[in-house]
Structures are given as structure tokens and as C-alpha cells.
Amino acid sequence: MLPVQTDILVIGAGPTGLALATALQRNGVDHVLVDALDGAQNTSRAAVVHAHTLEMLDTIGVVGSLEARGIALPDFAVRDRDQVLLTVSFHRLPAAFQHLLMVPQSTTEAVLQARLNELGGAVHRGVAALAAVTDAGGAAVTVKTATGEQVIHARYVVGADGMHSIVRDAAGIPFHGEAYGESFVLADVTMDWPLNDEVSLFFSPAGLVVVAPLPDGSYRIVATLDDAPEKPEIADIQKLLDARGPTRTARVTGIGWASRFRVHHRLADTYRSGPFLLMGDAAHVHSPAGGQGMNTGLVDAIVLADALTRVVRDHLPDTALDDYARTRRPAAQEVLALAGRLTKIATLRSASARRLRNLLLRVLDRLPAIKRRLALGLSGLARRRFATLPPSGVLARHIAQ
């Protein structure tokens, strides 16, 4: 039975909505989580969970299950065909998790949903939000279900509803940015591949290609490609690897999930407007270079759960929600800049610029301090400062004044 009143209505049960609902459930905070789809999505999509995300997800008790289903990789290597230009190692990170975890997004979502259910929470599926307006108690959201339309009243409404967020539109929050020129090809393939202990990023004038092992023995391929085919086939991926990967590349033998998508580079002007809050792709989207998209959204979810718990359960002033917005938006700004830089460097076309880039990367590869900075940036640990709200004491002083 779908409630008609709640403290927090979370719209969207992708990875970020599921993580937020799990954290709220664990903290004993009243909420309702809805998703327009009748069932969970079963496509691979984001396949990397970074060290910083793992430490944040550890607070909701899902990391053991994720690690049991994923592959822990210690290294990220940048290559130009057969040459290694730079290796970034995660095994000396100042963190509880000293690796990145390869795990398909569908598995991450299934693990989060299982944990939510274990804690007594649920997803209301087949419930599409159509419109939202502010009212005296917060907001009123009209939803469409199998049995018709109804209104849910909530103090706060969280837009975890992806790039085309209706919550963002209802709140009138601009989403500035643009679409990248290139399309991206994504495919999970079977093949013989020698580099099983790392995520490999190949730079090439024709565009970048990333190859990473997945837990079922297949490999995730991500590549920029002008005029990418709508449904990439084995021959398309083979051609990509022949042109951009190592010269003695393996033969691609099978293809599972494959897709083409165009990437946008956009950031919401604010993450909060009155009762409306944004997180995940509803708040920020960018190139998949560096595998940061879902990771940034998952950290948003854990920080927002903290802010909402302070306000709804602990009755602190709702300026904690402004703190969430102020704390997390700069993280996305940094991630957008990182993904943009990586894409630009990876796809240099002029031969002289590529030679200079490769030389520079080989020099950087000999500088431990730089390599450590890169590891901190990629793992998300460099953005830890954007993952903690100001202490409640600061807010408590506001109340007293």
C-alpha cells in the first residue's frame, strides 16, 4: 500500500535512491522510495566502485556483499598501445579499502536493495512521479500507479530520478552544461586478455578506450566513437581494440550487454530549493572517463541521509540540508573537471602533442608524490572533505542564538 504522507519521498530507485533509503531505514527515519519501473534494471552500466565510495557504503553494511560479488583491482594504468605511460596504484592508499572494485551496476543495485529489505525497507515499483508542487507541509507529488493517480505529501522530496529529473524541473533548478561531441560505446565482452590485474586506459588519436575485467570473466570496454553503432557488435569492438589497444590484442569471442550513449556535462545550479533536494545524475552528469559518475552519486546519498536524519529524526534546523547542498556540489565540480581533463588528454590528435603528453606522463610516472595525488583523485579520497557535514554542534549553536 502506497502511503499518502511521509517525511521524505525519494523519487528514483537507482543506486543513489537505494543507498539513501537504506541509510534512512537504518537510522529509523520515515521515508517512501518509489520508482517508475516495474522491476530493477539488469544492465551493467557503471562498473567501478572506488575506495572512497566503499568507505561511505561501509556505513550502511553493504561492502561485504559487494566485495564478495566483485573483483578488487590494485592498479589503474595509462597506456599508448604497447607502452605503459603511467601506473596509478591504490594499494598504499591511506584508507580502509586499498583497491577499486569492479562490479556491474545491476549487482550494486541488487546488493543495496537486499540490504534495504533486510532492514525492513521497501521500494514501491511501478510508481511514476508526474508533477510536484510546494504546499504548506512541504510538497505534494502526483504519482501514477497501476491503479490510477494519487498525491503523496512529504516534508522533503529527493530527486534521485536521474538526468531527466522531474524533481529538478519542479524545483526550477537550472542544469547548465552541454552534450559532448562524441558518442561512447560500452560493451561487456568475452576475450583473451593479458592485463587482468588492472583497469587499462588506452590513449589513441582515434579516441580513448578503457578495458577492465568483470567478475564473471568478461571485460568491460568503454570507448569514445564518432557515429557509434546503436547496437555494437563483436566486429565493432574488435576493430576498436585493433586500432587502439595493444598491437597483439586478443580476439573478441562474445558480446553480452552493449550500448551507445551520448554524454552530457552538466551541473545543477543548487542541490536544494525549499523542500526539493537533488542527488546523483539528477544533480550532475559527465563523461565516464575515470568512472566517477555513480560513485559521486553514492557519496551524495550517504551525506544527504546524514543531513535528513539530523533534521527529521533529531529535530535540528533544516539548514543542515543547505549544508548538504554546499558540501556536495563542489565535489561534483571537481569530478566534472577531472573527467573533462581525462577525456581531453586521452583524445589528443596532433602527433607532436601526443609525443609531448606521453613524455610528460612517463616523467610523472617516476614522481611518487604526483602518483599518490592521482591515486587520491581517482579513488575519490581527495574529495573526502566534501563528504562530511559540519558538526551538529555548529547547528546547535545556531538554534541557541
Ligand X SMILES: Cc1cc2nc3c(=O)[nH]c(=O)nc-3n(C[C@H](O)[C@H](O)[C@H](O)COP(=O)(O)OP(=O)(O)OC[C@H]3O[C@@H](n4cnc5c(N)ncnc54)[C@H](O)[C@@H]3O)c2cc1C
Grid cell 581517482 in the structure block, residue: 378
Is-contact 328 269, C-beta < 8 A?
A: no
Instruction: Tell me how crowded residue 182 is: count the other CB atoms within 10 A of its CB.
Output: 19
Residue 365 within binding range of ligand X, rule CB under 6 A: no
Q: In Å, what is the CA distance from 369 to each residue of 373, 375, 376?
A: 6, 10, 11
Residue 35 within binding range of ligand X, rule CB under 6 A: yes
What would you measure as the largest C-alpha separation in the chain, in angstroms?
Answer: 69
Helix (H) or strand (E) holding 302: helix 293-308
Q: CB-wise, 13 or 93, nearer to ligand X?
A: 13
Residue 293 within binding range of ligand X, rule CB under 6 A: yes
Q: CB-wise, 14 or 207, nearer to ligand X?
A: 14
DSSP state of 282: G
Residue from 132, 160, 361, 376 in contact with ligand X (CB under 6 A): 160
Residue 380 within binding range of ligand X, rule CB under 6 A: no
Residue from 9, 13, 361, 378 in contact with ligand X (CB under 6 A): 13
Q: CB-wise, 166 or 387, nearer to ligand X?
A: 166
Residue 281 within binding range of ligand X, rule CB under 6 A: yes
b (16+ CB within 10 A) / e for 353-362: ebeebbeebe
Residue from 6, 10, 12, 277 in contact with ligand X (CB under 6 A): 12
Residue 232 within binding range of ligand X, rule CB under 6 A: no
Residue 151 within binding range of ligand X, rule CB under 6 A: no
Grid cell 521524505 in the structure block, residue: 8
Q: CB-wise, 42 or 261, nearer to ligand X?
A: 261
DSSP state of 229: -
Any residues with CB less than 8 A from the CB of 334 and at least 6 apart, and which?
382, 383, 386
Grid cell 604526483 in the structure block, residue: 370
Residues 148, 340: Cα–Cα separation, whole Å: 43
Q: CB-wise, 306 or 365, nearer to ligand X?
A: 306
Using CB under 6 A as the criterion, what x/- string covers residues 308-347 for binding ligand X?
----------------------------------------
Residue 258 within binding range of ligand X, rule CB under 6 A: no
Q: CB-wise, 213 or 291, nearer to ligand X?
A: 291
Residue 162 within binding range of ligand X, rule CB under 6 A: yes
Q: Is 231 helix (H, G, I), strand (E, B) or coil?
A: coil
Binding site for ligand X (CB under 6 A): 11-17, 34-37, 45-47, 105, 128-129, 160-162, 166, 186, 222, 259, 261, 280-281, 288, 291-294, 297
